[in-house]
Amino acid sequence: MISKELIERINYLARKSKTEGLTPEEKEEQARVRRQYLDAIKARVTDALDRVKIVDQKPTECSCDCLHLGPCSQHKTRH
Protein backbone atom coordinates (compact mmCIF):
# COMPACT_ATOMS: atom_id res chain seq x y z
CA MET A 1 0.00 0.00 0.00
CA ILE A 2 1.20 3.48 -0.84
CA SER A 3 0.81 5.71 2.17
CA LYS A 4 1.20 9.46 2.33
CA GLU A 5 4.12 8.94 4.72
CA LEU A 6 5.92 6.69 2.22
CA ILE A 7 5.63 9.29 -0.53
CA GLU A 8 6.73 12.06 1.82
CA ARG A 9 9.79 10.04 2.83
CA ILE A 10 10.69 9.31 -0.80
CA ASN A 11 10.41 13.01 -1.63
CA TYR A 12 12.39 14.07 1.45
CA LEU A 13 15.24 11.71 0.62
CA ALA A 14 15.24 12.85 -3.02
CA ARG A 15 15.45 16.52 -2.00
CA LYS A 16 18.16 15.82 0.56
CA SER A 17 20.11 13.79 -2.00
CA LYS A 18 20.15 16.78 -4.37
CA THR A 19 21.01 19.41 -1.76
CA GLU A 20 23.35 18.00 0.86
CA GLY A 21 23.77 14.33 -0.02
CA LEU A 22 22.75 11.15 1.77
CA THR A 23 24.53 9.00 4.31
CA PRO A 24 25.07 5.34 3.37
CA GLU A 25 22.15 4.41 5.66
CA GLU A 26 19.89 6.95 3.97
CA LYS A 27 20.89 5.65 0.54
CA GLU A 28 19.84 2.16 1.63
CA GLU A 29 16.57 3.52 2.99
CA GLN A 30 15.97 5.44 -0.23
CA ALA A 31 16.43 2.27 -2.29
CA ARG A 32 14.13 0.36 0.08
CA VAL A 33 11.28 2.90 0.03
CA ARG A 34 11.52 3.29 -3.74
CA ARG A 35 11.27 -0.50 -4.10
CA GLN A 36 8.22 -0.51 -1.79
CA TYR A 37 6.60 2.16 -3.94
CA LEU A 38 7.31 0.34 -7.21
CA ASP A 39 6.10 -2.99 -5.80
CA ALA A 40 2.84 -1.34 -4.72
CA ILE A 41 2.33 0.20 -8.17
CA LYS A 42 3.04 -3.16 -9.85
CA ALA A 43 0.55 -4.87 -7.54
CA ARG A 44 -2.15 -2.32 -8.41
CA VAL A 45 -1.55 -2.68 -12.15
CA THR A 46 -1.51 -6.48 -11.91
CA ASP A 47 -4.74 -6.45 -9.92
CA ALA A 48 -6.40 -4.16 -12.45
CA LEU A 49 -5.26 -6.30 -15.37
CA ASP A 50 -6.46 -9.46 -13.64
CA ARG A 51 -9.95 -7.96 -13.57
CA VAL A 52 -10.02 -7.22 -17.29
CA LYS A 53 -12.39 -9.41 -19.24
CA ILE A 54 -11.47 -9.96 -22.87
CA VAL A 55 -14.37 -10.33 -25.24
CA ASP A 56 -13.48 -12.24 -28.39
CA GLN A 57 -15.07 -10.66 -31.42
CA LYS A 58 -14.60 -12.06 -34.87
CA PRO A 59 -13.77 -9.51 -37.56
CA THR A 60 -16.28 -9.09 -40.35
CA GLU A 61 -15.33 -9.12 -43.99
CA CYS A 62 -16.23 -6.30 -46.28
CA SER A 63 -16.50 -6.21 -50.06
CA CYS A 64 -13.25 -4.23 -50.08
CA ASP A 65 -11.56 -7.20 -48.31
CA CYS A 66 -10.81 -5.18 -45.18
CA LEU A 67 -11.17 -6.84 -41.79
CA HIS A 68 -12.73 -4.70 -39.10
CA LEU A 69 -14.92 -4.68 -36.04
CA GLY A 70 -17.99 -2.52 -36.46
CA PRO A 71 -18.56 0.04 -39.20
CA CYS A 72 -16.20 0.10 -42.16
CA SER A 73 -14.53 3.50 -42.13
CA GLN A 74 -13.47 3.32 -45.77
CA HIS A 75 -16.99 3.53 -47.15
CA LYS A 76 -18.96 4.57 -44.10
CA THR A 77 -21.28 1.56 -44.05
CA ARG A 78 -22.26 -0.70 -41.23
CA HIS A 79 -22.02 -4.46 -41.49
Strand, helix or coil at 72? strand
3-35 tens-digit pLDDT = 999 999 999 999 999 999 999 999 999 999 999
| Lowest-pLDDT choice from 6-15, 21-30, 36-45, 51-60 | 51-60
Show the domain range for 46: 1-79
Taking the whole predicted model, whether its pTM rises above 0.85 is answered as no
Residue 18 is part of a domain; what is its CATH number? 1.10.287.540
Give the total number of structural domains in the chain.
1
User: Over the stretch 70-79, which tens digit does the pLDDT of each residue have?
Assistant: 666 665 555 4
Indicate the pLDDT class of residue 54, thresholds 50, 70 and 90.
Answer: confident
Integer Cα distance of 57 and 5 in angstroms: 45
